[in-house]
Structure 1
Amino acid sequence: MQSTEVIAPARGSAFAELSRTIKQAGLLDRRPGYYTGQIAFILVLAAAGVAAFLLLGDSWWQLAIAAYFAVVSTQLGFLGHDAGHKQIFRSGRANYLFGVAFANLGVGFSYGWWVDKHSRHHAHPNDEEKDPDIGAGALIFTAGQAQASGPVARMFYRYQAWTFFPLLLLEAVNLRVASMRYLRGGRDRPRLREALLIGVHIVAYLILVFVVLSPGKAVAFVAIHQGLFGLYLGCSFAPNHKGMPPLSAADDADYLRRQVLTSRNVRGHWLTDFGLGGLNYQIEHHLFPSMPRGNLRHAQPLVRAFCRDHQVSYLETGLIPSYAQALRHLDTIGRLPAG
């Protein structure tokens, strides 16, 4: 299984100097106590949600439980993300088994697909040709994609800033479709295992919902749960790179600048850290993908000071301004004239 680790540059580079500072501060050390607490807390939230669902029975109040489970599902996804970066356990095997359990069985999408995709993103952030997160699809992110789009597509892209959040309501569906395509692409044991676990998740989920709720309420529950799950997940990732400068191999930026210049941090407090799963420290996370989530806030002042001393632009903004910047970029790209 490919990991989401990014190979560090050679000794003597600016990043190597920063890396030594971070390592000496102990910020790359595992945090077993922190993750034990995080995992226990999310599992308690999940168990409480199931208990409330069963106690409420066939009631329209279940739609509030559906929204609650959108939060729980996203938090489970964050833990899968951390496992993919080997933040939780020292053993790659342990991280893999944990990630598969939480992503495939707990949430219902392919951990293997996500790790492969996310690895390419970390290695080539905001590279139009290599970063799968900015590939053209329902949205476009670069001038090159705008110029390559046809007249019908351009009609839709012109309003993509307005459709961005509504489209996120379909992100959970998109994750599952992409997972199925990935799993159909091979017959090896890991993919078969992942497909089986996703199947168990879907069957158990649908049986529970449709046994407890009448058909109309069950359909509404699934729609709200999955729609808000996709919206929350998408909103957690949207501030990180959208609207930041695109880079390619031709730009010849070193590792430090490639990761910092294409990333945006979101300032806040402990609730922001929890709500965004630590992804608000996107610069630190991209520089040190295996750094445990709980250490990112401690690394931030060191990284920010290092960037200031080395004249590397370090962008940090509020949550709402981060969305505004991303939407302005989508609007600008969507309105570019055809090539």
Structure 2
Amino acid sequence: MKFEEKHVGNGNLVGKSQTSGGEKHQANGKTAASGKAQVCVKQEANGKHHTPRESLNTYTWQEIQRHNQESDQWLVIDRKVYNVTSWADRHPGGRWVLNHYAGEDATDVFRAMHLDIDIARRYLKPLLVGELAPGEPSQERNKNSQLVEDFQELRKTLEAMNMFDANLGFFFLHLTQILILEVLAWLILYHLGSGWLVTIFISFLLTVSQAQSSFLQHDMGHLSIFKKSKWNHLMQKFVMCHLKGLSANWWNYRHFQHHVKPNIYPKDPDVDMGPLFLLGDYQPVKYGKKKIKYINYEKQHLYFYIVGLPLLMPVYFNLQSMKIMYFHRYWEDIFWVSSFYIRYFITFGPFYGIFGTLLLMYFVKFLESPWIVYVTQMSHIPMKMSKEENRDWLSTQVLATCNIEQSFFNDWFTGHLNFQIEHHLFPTMPRHNYHKVAPLVKSLCAKHGLQYVNKPMLKAFGDIVRALKKSAALWMDAYYET
């Protein structure tokens, strides 16, 4: 998430903030602190903050937690209180990311999701409205302060070890692998013709290319591989939009919500798959008690193989991507995605024609879909899902994710997403460093009694179905309850 990128949205307020404490509303609808706090906000915006700390308005956690609505959003970062209501629609990571943390301490998620903290803080300065009262803890009272401090110390240690520095050569090799597969598929077709055996073989090559492109674009969405952000931005557009034919903006805004609140219903869009699938313990009971039965959820672990595995990429993701691009007028994404289809028609059209090329395109996505479903869901669906519990960052991520045992094949097959715990704790860390930090994370989890789950890949695949079956049983018990 890069603040140098073009802002999304129309820049308007989500809604006017409610007055509280010593605040007042200006004529343009923006909230400003009164008295000395107002002066401080202006000085912060100009980068000339010389006002003593005691001049800031102070707030208790009880007061801050009231500002947790879409029209009234406050965050706490490093004990400073920010009113982000007016910024939400312009936030490069999407407005929902901010809303999900409204009224909460966002210190660790702020550090985790931003590549350049100094740039991000420039945007925070004019939003400052106060700070925590001296007697208030740095986090909400329900959180383990020692655990939070230990995790923050671990992050500082990893920063000192340069674990957040990306190896450009590593990602260049992965891009080279993808391009070689694409070119090889065309060369084989050009020299051997469009027989059915050749078509099957080039479909296999293109499927591998598509899956590896998924993992590479995932890296581009999180990391600063190039020194200049515009090159990171262009590279993600190239990989996600041109090589895969999906909207980068759609993926970013959906994926960032998943990262900040994984497996939290309904804040994580990845766990809200109703009415097709009911996940976790909460959603099946909710549907069951309301006597909702769009589908026979008792069989969801079976129709997962028929619907979930083959149709996620060619149907669900493609339709969502097109819908978001069209309704939000993401013209840059539309241009790049159009180039994906143009490239396919130019490359394969002379051999298969227009209709045949479309069939090839969606056949490849059909083959890729089970690969992506298993890799992305095996670390989340079997784990804890709940409504908002406002846990600390470490607990939130570890309870909702699990790792898959490391091997050369597992690393390649999953794009290093077998280290899902480390990836969720440190989203901006390049994947080639996950295995180096895993022992330190595991040690910290052991110290604080958090279960660090690491399982074989085949067991993880099976756990998806077992979790779906368990959720189905919960729905049945609630639905047929008299």
TM-score, reference length from structure 1: 0.90
Relative to structure 1, is the Cα distance of residues 114 and 32 closer, same or farther in structure 2, using a 3 angstrom cutoff?
same
Aligned pair 1:104/2:241, yes or no? yes
Match of residue 329, structure 1, among 467, 473, 477 = 467
Q: Which amino acid aligns with 2:228?
A: S
Distance of aligned partners of 1:153 and 1:54 in 2 relative to their CA distance in 1, 3 Å threshold: same
Letter in 1 for 2:192: L
| Conserved? CA contact 2:282–2:385, under 8 Å | no
Cα deviation for residue 79 of structure 1 reads 0.9
> Matched residues in 1 for 2:239 and 2:362: separation?
21
CA shift for structure 1 position 218: 5.0
Q: Which stretch of the first structure deviates more once superposed, 116-125 or 296-305?
A: 296-305
- Contact kept, 8 Å, 2:287 with 2:293, in 1: the verdict is no
Segments of structure 1 that go 5 or more residues without pairing to the other structure are none
Q: Distance in 1 between matches of 2:204 and 2:177?
A: 18
Alpha-carbon distance between aligned partners in 2 of 1:96 and 1:71, rounded to the nearest angstrom: 24
Query: Does the aligned pair in 2 maintain the 1:128–1:142 contact within 8 Å?
Result: no
Confirm or deny: 8 A CA contact 1:70 1:228 kept in the other structure: yes
Which secondary structure does the structure 2 equivalent of 1:253 belong to? coil
Superposed counterparts of 1:117-156, under 5 Å: 117-137=254-274, 138-146=276-284, 147-148=286-287, 151-155=292-296
Aligned to 1:179: 321
State the distance in 2 between where 1:213 and 1:300 align.
48
Match of 2:304 among 158, 164, 188: 164
Q: 2:451: which partner in 1?
A: 313
Distance 1:216 1:198 in 2: 18
| 8 Å CA contact retained: 1:183, 1:192 | yes
1:279 correspondence with 2:417: yes
Q: 3-state SS of the aligned residue for 2:379?
A: helix
Q: Is the 8 A contact 1:273 1:280 kept in 2?
A: yes
Letter in 2 for 1:294: H
**Helix, strand or coil at the partner of 1:185:** helix
Q: Offset at 1:165?
A: 3.2
Letter in 1 for 2:338: G
The C-alpha deviation readout for 1:289-330, integer Å capped at 9, x for no partner, is 010111111111121122122322100001111122221110
Contact 2:280–2:384 at 8 Å: present in 1 too? no
CA distance in structure 2 between the aligned counterparts of 1:152 and 1:313, rounded to whole angstroms:
35
Mapped partners of 1:54, 1:299: distance in 2: 46
RMSD of aligned alpha carbons: 2.3
Distance 2:157 2:451 in 1: 19
Counterpart-to-counterpart distance in 1, 2:292 and 2:355: 40
Q: With CA pairs under 8 Å and 6+ residues apart, which has the higher RCO, 1 or 2?
A: 1
| C-alpha distance in structure 1 between counterparts of 2:247 and 2:173, whole Å | 25
Deviations along 1:50-99, one digit per CA (max 9) or x if unpaired, are 22232222211211211221110111111111010025234332222111
Counterpart residue number, 2:181: 45
Deviation at 1:40, TM superposition (A): 2.1
CA distance in 2, matches of 1:240, 1:87: 25
> Higher helix proportion, which one?
1
Q: Do 2:300 and 2:468's aligned partners in 1 also have CA atoms closer than 8 Å?
A: yes
Alpha-carbon distance in structure 1 between the residues aligned to 2:228 and 2:354: 44
For residue 231 of structure 1, the aligned residue among 362, 370, 374 is: 370
Change (3 A) 1:323 1:48: same
C-alpha distance in 2, partners of 1:136/1:275? 25
Assess if the C-alpha contact under 8 Å between 1:67 and 1:224 holds in 2: no
Alignment CA distance shift 1:193-1:223 (3 Å): closer
Deviations 1:245-304 (CA, angstroms, capped at 9, x unpaired): 11443x232111111111010003111111100110000000000101111111111211
> Structure 1 residues 307 and 91 mapped into 2: Cα distance closer, same or farther (>3 Å)?
farther
Of 402, 410, 414, the residue aligned with 1:264 is 402
Deviation at 1:122, TM superposition (A): 0.2
1:213 to 341, 349, 352: 352
Kindly provide the amino acid, as one letter, of the partner of residue 396 in structure 2: R
2:311/2:369 contact within 8 Å kept = yes
Q: Does 1:14 align with 2:158?
A: no
Instruction: Give the secondary structure class of the aligned counterpart of 2:328.
Output: coil
- Residue type at the aligned position of 2:452: Y
Q: 2:383 aligns with which of 244, 249, 254?
A: 244
Partner of residue 27 from structure 1, selected from 146, 160, 163? 163
Give the number of the structure whose residues are more often strand, by fraction. 2
Q: 1: distance between equivalents of 2:236 and 2:425? A: 22
State the AA in 2 paired with 1:317.
K
Give 2:14's aligned residue: none
| 1:20, distance to aligned residue in structure 2 (A) | 1.8
Runs ≥4 residues deviating over 4 A:
9-12, 214-220
Q: How many Å separate the matches in 2 of 1:120 and 1:133?
A: 9
* Partner-residue secondary structure (3-state), 1:158: helix
Counterpart of 2:37 in structure 1 is none
Instruction: Give matches, 1:69-108, under 5 Å.
Output: 69-108=206-245
Q: Once the 2 structures are TM-superposed, how far is the Cα of residue 331 of structure 1 from its aligned partner?
A: 0.7
